[in-house]
Amino acid sequence: MDFSRIKDWNNFKTRPFLISGPCSAETEEQMQTTCQQLAQSGKVNVLRAGIWKPRTRPNAFEGVGKEALTWLKQAGIDNNLPVATEVANAQHVEACLKAGIDILWIGARTTVNPFSVQEVADSLKGVDIPILVKNPVNPDLQLWIGALERIHQAGVTKLGAIHRGFSSFQKTAYRNVPKWEIPIELKATFPEIDIICDPSHIAGNRSLLATVAQKAMDLEMTGLMIESHINPDEAWSDAKQQINPESLNELIGNLTIRSTEASSFETSSELTAFRKIIDEIDESLIQTLVSRMALSEKIGQYKLDNNVTILQIKRWEEIKKTRMEHGHSEGLNNEFVKNLLQLIHKESIRQQTDVMNKSVTVG
């Protein structure tokens, strides 16, 4: 898909481009008060609120519904700011367009289903308002790209992405693990696409919002979507991840926004020198891995000749233990070393399996 015709839609002059508002529109008063306080900070570019809330289990608060579109739109008019909300089907899109909502986004639970995305895309034909697409709940880059392509094929040119993290069975500090490598790959593949980070859904806890927001800025993301509520602890949905407008103002004010390019010739030359060294080290790493895999192939042949199984658990556990201890002693992160070893081991298993399979084919 060629996204080269994507238009600048946010008119941002400085990062971060900030989208904020309550997780859910609860009452007209709550919307008015929250949005007024957010607008007064001068840092918010777009006001947001959830109108329809997809919940994991029944009997949870699922949003006020289209009645709240009027509250959201009026908050935007009163504070001279555009407004945004999530849509999941054609009926949502129709109601939002009728109410004059300025920006729509497709949620993670919708992005995961191509049929639902296509329904939304079809309902947007002939309309070119900004559309943002959240990553799917599972870490699938192609599914995310596919959703963006479907919306783009409908004629939408004001298109952006939202990184909100990914569901995981593993217990982590995050509600949704960020897996930063996935939005980085999206940006590398389609540099025209602006990416907004959603620290609220990544963190799931207000204590982690600042850390996630800073990381997003350091990775050159365009902006942030952060949920804000006048009384977060009393919020009807996702209370733990929301902050009040005053705390949001403080969080944004404390962010360090770094330049995307070296600011001087001297700095640029120094950076170039460092990168040259990294290039040389990377080349050496590749050659080392080539040598290691060549040995894995020879080991595979030995195991074949001597009727030995490919997987040797004791040897694998020994490798993990000794290499992780060595890495830790050298100051490397344990999780990084573990992940690296697992990738190398997986490829080694593949190499040895190929040796075994060739023997079967020949026989």
Of 209, 204, 175, give the one whose Cα is nearest residue 16.
209
Structural domains in the chain plus CATH codes: 17-253 (3.20.20.70), 269-362 (1.20.59.10)
pLDDT tens digit at each of 363 positions of the chain: 566 666 766 665 578 999 999 999 999 999 999 999 999 999 999 999 999 988 777 878 888 999 999 999 999 999 999 999 999 999 999 999 999 999 999 999 999 999 999 999 999 999 989 999 999 999 999 999 999 999 999 999 999 999 999 998 878 899 999 999 999 999 999 999 999 999 999 999 999 999 999 999 999 999 999 999 999 999 999 999 999 999 999 999 999 998 766 555 556 777 888 888 888 899 889 989 999 999 999 999 999 999 999 988 999 999 999 999 999 999 999 999 999 999 999 999 999 999 988 865 555
Distance CA 35, CA 33 (A): 6
First to last CA, the chain: 45
Q: Regarding beta strands 83-87 and 194-197, do their DSSP bridges make them parallel or antiparallel, or are they unpaired?
A: unpaired
DSSP string, 219-280: TT-SEEEEEB-SSGGG-SS-GGG-B-HHHHHHHHHT-----SS-SSHHHHHHHHHHHHHHHH
DSSP letter assigned to residue 7: P
For the record, the structure tokens of 193 come out as 């696409």
